[in-house]
Copies of this chain bind each other. A is one copy, B any other.
Amino acid sequence: MIYETGAGVVKDKLNVHLVAHTHDDVGWLKTVDQYYVGSNNSIQGACVQNVLDSMVPALLRDKNRKFIYVEQAFFQRWWRDQSEATQTIVKGFVSSGQLELINGGWCMHDEAAPHYIDMIDQTTYGHKFIKQQFNVTPRIGWQIDPFGHSAVQAYLLGAEVGFDSLFFGRIDYQDRAKRKADKHLEVIWRASKSLGSSSQIFAGAFPENYEPPSGFYFEVNDDSNIVQDDVNLFDYNVQERVNDFVAAAVSQANITRSNHVMWTMGTDFKYQYAESWFRNMDKLIHYVNKDGRVNALYSTPSIYTDAKYAETDSWPLKEEDYFPYASDINAYWTGYFTSRPGLKGYVRMLSGYYLAARQLEVLKGRNKAGPTTDSLADALGIAQHHDGVSGTSQQHVANDYAKRLAIGHKEAEAVVAESLAGMVSSKSVHGSSATHFQQCPLLNISYCPPTEADLSSGKKLVVVVYNSLGWKRSDVIRLPVVSENIAVYDSSGKQVESQLLPVVKDSIALRNYYATAYTGKSPSSTPKFTLAFTASVPPLGFSTYTIQSTKKPASNFVKQALYKHTGIGKGDVEVGTGNLKLIYSKSEGKLSQYVNSQRSIEASVSQSYLYYAGFDGTTGLQASGAYIFRPNGSYSIDSQEQNITVLRGPIYEEVHQKINPWIYQITRVYKNKEHAEVEFTVGPIPIKDRVGKEIVTQITTNIKSNKKFYTDSNGRDFLERIRDYRTDWNLEVNQRVAGNYYPINLGMYLKDDKSELSLLVDRSIGGSSIVDGQLELMLHRRLLYDDGKGVAEALNETVCVGDDCRGLAVQGKYYLRIDPVGEGAKWRRSYGQEIYSPLLLAFTEQDGNEGTNFQVSTFTGMDPSYSLPDNVALLTLQELEDGRVLLRLAHLYEVGEDKDLSVLTSVELKKLFAKRKITKLSEMSLSANQGRVEMEKKRLVWKAEGSKDDETAPPRGGPVDPLKLVVELAPMEIRTFIVTVSKTLSRRLVSPDLSLHSL
């Protein structure tokens, strides 16, 4: 039997686009490798090898059959396993369009928890392979499973990548109902206020999910009614199935504009045996088209998009984003904004590290033999998956993400150490005596063996401080040390101000437990003090400091530091030696006022902790779990002791508060910073009462915010949120807390006509403003029931040393500042960059009293006179395999965000690449897989309903003059370039010419 499967689009008929797809989570119930090879099937029957292996003969069998594939983390594993013969066949599929690679990132990233830089990196990583192997560029965004959809996804990872459309499955059930009634599932999504119509995209939400219509599942062993068209056998059912098909098509057409509907023929890890689907789709196409009522065709999202584009002039306009996502009345998927805060913190830390490491890889020259940053790229790419950093994988999978990150980190550390060693060019007659740098990934818990060394024998500790920002920067370095008899010197040998504060008991306990858990052995020493000093580092460069023992305690600093204030009584305690003062009430032991006289801020402010009880799932009702936030009442957490301990010093002061046995908080006020830094340690969350708990902190002010607050989209644009309100529909409020939660990556703020309260975060978490003037952040959650959304585990993280397992404690920071209204953006943007890219520290021990043996102890990769403008960040500086350099520059401000900085700005590439000649500069699409001009030429130009034809898109930076090499950037613009620089590598290898380390 030959089936007629070659139908294309037929005009004036309802066209049913059958899109054969598999949705392959890059880790979820199983690890990415287990999914790939198909092991651990007792958890989930899923093997990506089967999918791709079986695709090949299925597509060979009929050239009309089409398939799409999405996740490059899997596809690339498979590709490298294939014989040349198979690769040739598959290349044929791709070039003929039988196989379309869409989305094309390393994973289908989450849209709530990832930072936009991670989203760009992982997309670029996947697109690069596709380009290399198949010379194609994906046209379609395919975010079918993430639990809500971000503005940044639409405009930045959609339009700016060159995608013609974006499809997804999950939007709020109320929103979906209205859109179905209005035929507004498919829209023009204009998600960036700043870039407007220049960055809009056609976006389609599926009517139900990303599965086939009910009864059209044809996976091997699935129980849909297969098409039985052999009249010689019983149960012949062609007419029945054709009728089913037509009915489902018409039903979908009734909620869809135009004569085209898409059927997503597949779902999670389907096509284990692809033929079972195609066999039935062949028959459906054949018999449905013979029937003639509707037209069925093998299609892809590209074909579907083109058909939509051809047929309809304009589409409804959608702005902002699709957060938060609720799938049902009590099922708000806002828990995962915070789920696994430890993993979220690790991912964010490595994201910044990866950025810095690639810079150092460029400065040193990529080492083809390794180490490279590629394994970190891979691990970070995998971790961005929508069950990765989202916190919604099973525990063993979360462990796998962490393990991959640790391996990638380790290799990247080697890159960093090699690069710094090369750049400092230590004076040595022995060729092999390159400096060996150590780094301290566990510095956050005061574990750092090199700084804990005993220097009394005359050794000195050398600290190289690298700054990956494009601006000169001063920041306080805090290091655990064992002796009070030490002093800090800069590279000129001048002693710099330093401060020693005692390491408190609670910190030591945490440090010892976690250091043992992570390193596998107990720390051999115990730090007594935290040494602090201010490092000053040029842009894209480093400075060097040395720490040496002294005969006696370093002057008066220690004494002052040890001054403790434990107060019950009347009056206030004032903390802070600079512009910012925090005022604590002695009687309550609590923060009461925030004062910055320099900026005329004097605000009442309080801070408290509470927990939401996780809804119990035993009754079959919706529980709170990895995905879902469903609070069952809130319970305030009062400090059990009203004592506060203040440690004072010249560089910063800190307030220690032991809120309860499992919450410890340190608030730091730096002399030279106008924000407060709050370091919280939450956990182990007690569960003896069999109640899961979700811990939040609330910052309360008198600001009359009138229901409004602002949260960032993946750390980039800020979106206005209005409590109990949605722009697109009349919200029926079911969950007053969970329904107002939003993902926070950079920070959040609220304001009135006088002032604004901003919080910045060090990782992705959930936050809201449940009452006016108040912001809240969910810091940690520990839950005892599965929430029934698939992960099949309770989110109950523990950490073990041997058999001693405890609930996971999470340590993190958030940053608080109050500004006069309109002035907060500068801090949020600039300091947000510093949080994302902390100073990178490398340590080495040297002998002798004289300075270091470095030939170079302070350095900038740029022209020493140059610094990037305040409104520009260097997102990417990365050497490609062919030696060219990938460069991304980002304007940090939105239109209207700051009166000075929300303007067109420019970067002088000649000064950025100070010592190398740029021989070629190609502006690229965001994922760097095609020329920007070419992309814009190809990309479909959609029209939103109600748009004026004469409406002009916001301005963007103009073309780069190849002689001047000045890059203009408009607000929120990100520009991507591939830069060819003069090769002077060989000279560098021969004679270490210092200047050549510069760009």
- Complex CA–CA separation, A3 to B49 (angstroms): 17
A33 CB-CB contact with B under 8 Å: yes
- Contacting chain B: which of A222-230, A685-693, A935-943? A222-230
> A235 an interface residue at 8 Å Cβ cutoff?
yes
A258 CB-CB contact with B under 8 Å: no
Check A57 for interface membership: any CB of B closer than 8 A: yes
Q: Which residues of B contact A226 (CB under 8 A)?
A: 37-39, 47
CB of A124, distance to nearest CB on chain B (Å): 22
Residues of B within 8 A of A220 (CB): 38, 45, 47, 50, 220, 272-273
Q: Measured between alpha carbons, how far is A56 from B57 in the docked complex, in Å?
A: 10
- Cβ of A42 within 8 Å of any chain B Cβ, yes or no, is yes
A275 within 8 A of B: yes
Give per-residue flags for A7-45: 1 if the beta carbon is below 8 A from chain B beta carbons, else 0. Answer: 000000000000000000000000101101111111001
Q: Which residue of chain B lies nearest to A237 when distances are taken between CB atoms in the complex? A: B39
Inter-chain CA distance A220–B221, complex, in Å, is: 10
- Contact between A230 and B272, CB atoms less than 8 A apart: no
A233 is an interface residue with CB less than 8 A from chain B: yes
In angstroms, how far is the closest chain B Cβ from the Cβ of A287? 15
Q: Is A276 located at the chain interface by the 8 A CB criterion?
A: yes
Contacts of A400 in B (CB 8 A): 234
CB of A279 within 8 A of chain B? Answer: yes
For A45, list chain B residues within 8 Å (CB): 220-223
Q: Tell me if A1 counts as interface (CB < 8 A to partner B).
A: yes
Pick from B39, B81, B225, B275: contact of A225, CB under 8 Å: B39
Given contacts A45-B220, A226-B37, A228-B39, contact A1 B273 (CB under 8 A): no
**Distance A222 CA – B42 CA, assembled complex (angstroms):** 7
Any B CB within 8 A of the CB of A870: no
Identity of the chain B residue whose Cβ is nearest the Cβ of A224 in the assembled complex: B41
The verdict on A41 contacting B273 (CB below 8 Å), with A36-B233, A233-B36, A234-B400 known, is: no
Q: Which of A53, A226, A273, A276 has the largest number of chain B CB atoms within 10 A?
A: A273
Q: How many Å lie between the Cα of A272 and that of B220 in the bound state?
A: 7
**A233 and B37 contacting across the interface, CB-CB below 8 Å:** yes
Chain B residue at minimal CB-CB distance from A275: B53
A272 touches B37 (CB 8 A): no
CB proximity of A354 to chain B, nearest CB, Å: 20
Q: How far is the CB of A84 from chain B (nearest CB, A)?
A: 12
Could you tell me the distance in whole angstroms from the C-beta of A44 to the nearest C-beta in chain B? 9
* A77 part of interface (Cβ distance < 8 Å): yes
Q: Which of A46-93 contact B (CB under 8 A)?
A: 46-47, 49-50, 53-54, 56-57, 77, 81
- Determine the distance from Cα of A136 to Cα of B224 in the docked complex, in whole angstroms: 38
**In the bound complex, CA of A222 to CA of B221 (Å):** 12
Asked if A276 and B57 make an inter-chain contact with CB atoms under 8 angstroms apart, the answer reads no
Give the copy number: 2
Distance in angstroms from A436 CB to nearest chain B CB is 28
Q: Using Cβ atoms and an 8 Å threshold, which residues of chain B touch A228?
A: 33, 37, 39
Contact of A33 among B39, B234, B403 (CB under 8 A): B234
Contact A275 B235 (CB under 8 A): no
Cβ–Cβ < 8 Å partners of A234 in chain B: 31, 33-34, 400, 403
Pick the contact of A275: B31, B46, B54, B233 (CB < 8 A): B54
Is B230 in contact with A81, judged by CB distance below 8 angstroms? yes
Interface residues in A262-292 by Cβ distance below 8 A to B read 272-273, 275-276, 279
Q: A228-B37, A230-B81, A234-B400 are in contact. Are A50 and B276 (CB under 8 A)?
A: yes
Q: Are B275 and A50 in contact (CB under 8 A)?
A: yes
Is the beta-carbon distance between A41 and B272 smaller than 8 angstroms? no
Task: List A residues 195-253 near B (Cβ within 8 Å).
Answer: 220-226, 228, 230, 233-235
A45 CA to B220 CA, complexed, in Å = 7
Chain B residues within 8 Å of A39, by CB? 225-226, 228, 235
With CB as the reference atom, state the residue of chain B lying closest to A220: B272
Given contacts A81-B1, A221-B221, contact A34 B273 (CB under 8 A): no
Q: Which residues of B have CB within 8 Å of A56?
A: 57
Whether B81 lies near A276 (C-beta < 8 A) is: no
Looking at A36, A38, A272, which has the most chain B CB atoms within 10 Å of its CB? A38
Contacts A81-B230, A279-B49; A223 near B33 (Cβ below 8 A): no
A46 to B273 CA separation, bound complex (whole angstroms): 13
Chain B residue at minimum C-beta to C-beta distance from A34:
B235
Residues of chain B within 8 A of A279, CB atoms compared? 49, 53
In the bound assembly, the distance between CA atoms of A33 and B41 in angstroms comes to 29
Nearest B residue to A404 via CB reads B234
Q: A36 vs B228: C-alpha distance in the bound complex, in angstroms?
A: 10
CB distance from A882 to the nearest CB of B (A): 23
Chain B residues with CB under 8 Å of A34's CB are 234-235
- A38 to B218, alpha carbons, bound, how many Å? 10
Residues of chain B with a CB closer than 8 A to A38's CB: 220, 226, 276
- Given that A49-B279, A400-B234 are known contacts, is A272 also in contact with B36, CB under 8 Å in the complex? no
List chain B residues, Cβ under 8 A from A33.
Answer: 228, 233-235
Report the separation of the CA atoms of residues A235 and B275 in the bound assembly, to the nearest whole angstrom. 29
Interface residues of A in 812-856 (CB under 8 A from B): none
- Give Cα A77 to B230, complex, Å: 10
Question: Which residue of B40, B81, B221, B224 contacts A272 across the interface (Cβ within 8 Å)?
Answer: B221
- Measured CA separation A235–B400 after assembly (Å): 11
Q: Which residue of B lies closest to A42 (CB)?
A: B223
A879 CB → nearest B CB, Å: 23
A439 to B: closest C-beta gap in Å: 25
Which chain B residues border A57 with CB–CB below 8 Å?
56-57
**Docked-complex contact A47 and B276, CB < 8 angstroms:** yes
Set of chain B residues within 8 Å of A47, measured between Cβ atoms: 220-221, 226, 276
List residues 460-513 of chain A with CB under 8 A from any CB of chain B.
Answer: none
* Chain B, Cβ-Cβ closest to A269: B221
Contacts of A81 in B (CB 8 A): 1, 230
- Complex CA–CA separation, A50 to B271 (angstroms): 12
- Shortest A18–chain B CB gap in Å is 19
Shortest beta-carbon distance from A40 to chain B in Å: 8
Question: In the complex, A46→B226 CA distance in Å?
Answer: 12
User: Which residues of B have CB within 8 Å of A233?
Assistant: 33, 36-37, 77
Residues of B within 8 A of A272 (CB): 220-221, 273, 276
Q: Which residues of B contact A1 (CB under 8 A)?
A: 81
Residues of B near A41 (CB, < 8 A) are 221-224
* Contacting residues, chain B, for A403 (C-beta < 8 A): 234
Which residue on chain B has the smallest CB distance to residue A56?
B57
Q: Which of B46, B50, B230 contacts A37 (CB 8 A)?
A: B230
Q: How far is the CA of A1 from the CA of B31 in the complex (A)?
A: 23
CB distance from A31 to the nearest CB of B (A): 7
> Bound complex: CA of A894 vs CA of B629, how far in Å?
81
A830 to B388, CA, bound (A): 78
Is B54 touching A273 in the complex (CB atoms < 8 A)? yes
Please give me the residue from chain B that is nearest to A86 by CB atom: B61
Chain B residue with minimal CB distance to A38? Answer: B226
Task: Name which residue of chain B comes closest to A227, CB basis.
Answer: B37
Expressed in whole angstroms, the minimum distance between the Cβ of A408 and any Cβ of chain B is 13
A222: chain B residues at CB < 8 Å are: 41, 45
Closest Cβ neighbor of A234 among chain B residues: B33
Which chain A residues (610-655) contact chain B, with CB distance < 8 Å?
Answer: none
Minimum distance in angstroms from A22 CB to a CB of chain B: 13
A-B contact pairs, 21 of them (CB 8 A): A1-B81, A31-B234, A33-B235, A36-B233, A37-B226, A37-B235, A39-B228, A40-B223, A41-B223, A42-B223, A45-B222, A45-B223, A47-B220, A47-B221, A47-B226, A49-B279, A56-B57, A57-B57, A77-B230, A220-B220, A272-B273
What is A's interface to B at a CB cutoff of 8 Å?
1, 31, 33-34, 36-42, 45-47, 49-50, 53-54, 56-57, 77, 81, 220-226, 228, 230, 233-235, 272-273, 275-276, 279, 400, 403
- What are the 3 closest A-B residue pairs judged by CB atoms, nearest first? A45-B221, A273-B273, A42-B223
- Give 18 A-B pairs besides A45-B221, A221-B221 with Cβ atoms closer than 8 angstroms: A33-B233, A33-B234, A36-B233, A37-B226, A37-B228, A37-B230, A38-B220, A39-B226, A45-B223, A47-B226, A50-B273, A50-B275, A53-B279, A57-B57, A77-B233, A220-B272, A221-B272, A234-B403
